[in-house]
Amino acid sequence: MISTFNNPELELYFIHASDKKQVWDEIVLSGIKTYFSNHYPNIKTNYGVIESTDSPEKISEFVESMKVDILAFNTRRKNMFARIFNPGLAYKMIYHSDIPLFVTHV
């Protein structure tokens, strides 16, 4: 799938939403960036931490400031009641985003 995005203008931003900034988050994101740099040297990568776990507005601000073209989410499968009473951030972004979303289940 990465070969589809083999474009010199492509830049991947890995973001993590968290209540507070933690060192471990930075370490993990830095490791992901290093992995992509080693395995896919043609693709520029960067990362950031957003200090909000449930705010589509904060993610929208990040998307606009970094001029992101597509937004990808990993989501966990939930049962019916969890989906009704506690929708995930990816679901909320459907209504707050003007750019395409790519959502995968893990």
pLDDT value for 77: 67
pLDDT value for 87: 63
Q: Are residue 88 and residue 98 in the same domain, yes or no?
A: yes
CA dist., res. 55 & res. 44, Å (int): 27
To the nearest 10 degrees (0 to 180), the angle between helices 56-66 and 89-96 is 60
Per-residue pLDDT reduced to its tens digit, 37-74:
898 888 888 888 888 766 778 888 888 888 887 777 76
Per-residue pLDDT reduced to its tens digit, 12-23:
788 777 777 788
pTM attached to this predicted model: 0.64
Does the pLDDT at position 1 exceed 60? no
pLDDT value for 38: 92
Q: Are residue 74 and residue 100 in the same domain, yes or no?
A: yes
CA dist., res. 85 & res. 78, Å (int): 11
pLDDT value for 46: 84
Overall number of domains in the chain: 2
Residue 82's domain spans which residues?
55-106
Q: Are residue 3 and residue 36 in the same domain, yes or no?
A: yes
Q: Are residue 41 and residue 60 in the same domain, yes or no?
A: no
Q: Are residue 40 and residue 76 in the same domain, yes or no?
A: no
Q: Are residue 33 and residue 59 in the same domain, yes or no?
A: no
